Amino acid sequence: MEPGMERWAYGALWAALAGSLALRAARRALGPGRGLVLPLALLAALQSLCRACLPLPLGLALAAAAAGLLLWRAAPRRLLPAAGRAVLVTGCDSGFGQATARHLDAMGFQVFASVLDLQGHGAQELRRSCSSRLTLLQMDLTKPEDIQRVLQHIQTHTNSTGLWGLVNNAGFNDTIADAELSPLGKFRTCMEVNFFGSLELTKGLLPLLRSAGGRIVTVSSPAGDMPFPCLAAYGASKAALSLLMDTFRSELQPWGVKVSLVLPGYYKTGTTCDPAFWNLQKKQLVASLPQELLQAYGEDYVEEINRQFIQFMKVAVEDLSAVVNSITDGLLAANPAVRYYPGQGLGLMYFIHRYLPYFVRDLFLKGFFINPKLPRALRQEHHDATKKA
């Protein structure tokens, strides 16, 4: 085959792809939050491979199929209508929950928004900015009586509409420390809110969700998939939650209930980015540690972890729309994704986690997130001091 002809053929393919993408961008008809850089780079690599190894008709057909797949993925998602559908969103005092409740209300959903504090700033804000369709419900997920009250309310107030969706968004973490330094009670609290609370609520609502063939969208975390340093209590509870939802996804498939997980990157929400909150947590942690443990690690070790975490907060993203769009897609897309990864850098992080050796994974997470200094008992200066004494 003539090399010139080959160049023309592949060039025409790229021109058709670029034209089609430009047309869609001009019509604002590209899917929300779908990055194109990586797929385009992969397509370019595949095309080079096809050119080098395959005869023109076969190589061109393969590259065209890949370009078609890319265009299909970049297409806007077909969403079901929102009007008349009822949905419960938990943890709407702040952050993703509040932004999602507001967005779903504006789309025409009948929103039940649960908050910890009915008189708090978040609840006031929702009252002020949302339609009369939105109902605020008080619920602490660690209190079974609160969960039962919400279940009763939803059952009696969705007679005419049924319940289409549950968004398990509420979540909790107040500990940044090695697993050994994190008190057992902190692991329990994380499990109570993030795992048992969501489990009890989801089980309670399943009869309604099953009869509607509805949706469950749960906000978990990449910290439940990877061993982020100093996030053991939170990460373990999110790992349990992700696995539970994956199991529900498989078991509820015959009932027509679709289950999605949203695994966001790092966003500025609630107390997650408040240095004063984290400084207070650090002080309380140091005060609660047994002397022997504090001696082994050193107070400066805990200080340094906290300093690095507060530094890390600076990369948190303020625009929550990618997460809100993922939750909305999970509720309304004809074929929702099993997992959504809104946020920057998650593709690279998951690639390293899945395909590279353990020591590279650990180094990456330390470099990206928190890289603790050596505990006091392992430092040379400590050995020298004990030798002299």
Ligand X SMILES: NC(=O)c1ccc[n+]([C@@H]2O[C@H](COP(=O)([O-])OP(=O)(O)OC[C@H]3O[C@@H](n4cnc5c(N)ncnc54)[C@H](OP(=O)(O)O)[C@@H]3O)[C@@H](O)[C@H]2O)c1
d(CA 90, CA 96): 10
**Binding string to ligand X for residues 91 to 130, with x set by CB under 6 A, is what?**
x-xxxxx------------------xx-------------
Range 226-255, binding ligand X (CB under 6 A): none
Contact window for ligand X (CB under 6 A) among 128-136, 225-233, 261-269, 296-304:
261-269
Nearer to ligand X (CB atom), residue 59 or residue 264: 264
Of positions 142, 148, 155, 295, contacts ligand X by CB under 6 A: 142
Establish if 270 lies at the interface with ligand X (CB under 6 A): yes
Range 168-197, binding ligand X (CB under 6 A): 169-172, 193
Establish if 221 lies at the interface with ligand X (CB under 6 A): yes
| Non-local CB neighbours of 207 within 8 Å, separated by 6+ positions | none
Angle, CA of 276, 278 and 283, to the nearest 5°: 95
Cα 191 to Cα 7, 49, 89, 151, 188: the distances in Å are 58, 48, 19, 21, 5
Contact window for ligand X (CB under 6 A) among 64-72, 163-171, 368-376, 380-388:
163-171
Angle, CA of 168, 174 and 179, to the nearest 5°: 105
Respond yes or no: is residue 234 known to be catalytic: yes
Contact window for ligand X (CB under 6 A) among 128-136, 156-164, 206-214, 269-277:
269-277
Pairing label, strands 339-340, 258-262: parallel
Of 181, 187, 176, nearest to 307 by C-alpha is 176
Here the tokens at position 229 are: 């340093």
Which residue among the candidates 234, 267, 297, 341 is catalytic per the annotation?
Answer: 234
Here the tokens at position 60 are: 């061109």
Angle, CA of 33, 71 and 341, to the nearest 5°: 30
Say if CB 105 and CB 111 are below 8 A apart: yes
> Measured from the CB of residue 328, what is the shortest distance to ligand X in angstroms?
15
Of positions 140, 200, 246, 304, contacts ligand X by CB under 6 A: 140
> Measured from the CB of residue 222, what is the shortest distance to ligand X in angstroms?
7
| Non-local CB neighbours of 191 within 8 Å, separated by 6+ positions | 236, 237, 240
> Measured from the CB of residue 378, what is the shortest distance to ligand X in angstroms?
31
Contact window for ligand X (CB under 6 A) among 139-147, 304-312, 329-337, 380-388:
139-147
d(CA 98, CA 266): 17
Range 59-98, binding ligand X (CB under 6 A): 91, 93-97
Other residues' Cβ atoms within 10 Å of the Cβ of residue 62? 15
Pairing label, strands 86-89, 110-115: parallel
Establish if 219 lies at the interface with ligand X (CB under 6 A): yes
> Measured from the CB of residue 337, what is the shortest distance to ligand X in angstroms?
17
> Measured from the CB of residue 157, what is the shortest distance to ligand X in angstroms?
20
> Measured from the CB of residue 139, what is the shortest distance to ligand X in angstroms?
6
Of positions 204, 229, 264, 336, contacts ligand X by CB under 6 A: 264
Number of residues that bind ligand X (CB under 6 A): 26
**Distance between the two ends of the chain, CA-based, in angstroms?**
82
Interface residues with ligand X (CB under 6 A) are: 91, 93-97, 116-117, 139-142, 169-172, 193, 219, 221, 264, 266-267, 269-272
As annotated, the active-site residues are 234
